[in-house]
Amino acid sequence: MKDKKVSARLRFPEEEKLRPWLPLLLDAFALIDKGLSAAIQEHEKKFKTKLACKKGCGSCCRTHSDIPLYPLEMVGIYWYTIEKLGQPLRGILKKQLLEHRKGNSCPFLVDNACAIHNFRPIACRQFNVFASPCAEGEDPYYTRRKDVLTPSKKFTDRAIMVMLPFYGVTDEAAKAHAVNSGLIHSQACVLQACHWKELALRMDHFDTR
């Protein structure tokens, strides 16, 4: 879910110098958010409706069972969760990660809000619903498709291409092939199927250093 207002690109100046993958991910997120802002405005104007998504509505986090997660996004989630989250959210999330089982709801949903909102995956950023909030258990993509935003393919492709150097793809022709062929999308895993207990253990290790 994306707030209507465009957020400025996240910046971690010192960390970005030390971690070459971090600016790639932050640039990709910024492109996605820019494209979403334009798409949301266009949808609202075309269908005379308003964005329904807002903080405190976590229905999609519980309902969706196949949220795709790219390897670079996984790296970002690990880093942000381990090094940037503070208490009391940190303790609550660690417990949820330890207890998470394959197929459960997203473990990052805490009190109906995303604990890693700044580093939520592209798929989460792009799922936006208009007119009215989702009913509990509803997937509006199937119940009212016209109320679900269709993201800009142009911005999505650009964001994916920005991330490709992380995978060793730097040639422009190779980047285009990786995106157009769908090869890069085959690298994504399902968020709910990941072994999140490992992240909780790494948080413990970080906290006891």
DSSP 8: P
Domain map of the chain by residue range? 21-180+192-207
Q: How far apart are CA 43 and CA 2, in angstroms?
A: 14
Q: Please give the radius of gyration of the chain, using alpha carbons only, rounded to the nearest integer.
A: 17
Q: Could you tell me if 78 and 199 are in contact, meaning their C-beta atoms sit under 8 angstroms apart?
A: yes
Segments of the chain scoring below 70 in pLDDT: 1-7
What pLDDT does 7 receive? 61
Distances (CA, A) of 138 to 8, 55, 61, 111, 208: 31, 18, 11, 19, 41
What pLDDT does 97 receive? 97
In degrees and rounded to multiples of 5, residue 51 shows phi and psi of: -65, 130
What pLDDT does 3 receive? 44
Tokens of 32: 């996605």
Strand partners, 51: 130
In the chain, count of helices (H) and strands (E)? 10, 4
Strands (E), 100-209: 109-110, 113-114, 189-190
Closest alpha carbon to 62 in 147, 163, 135: 135
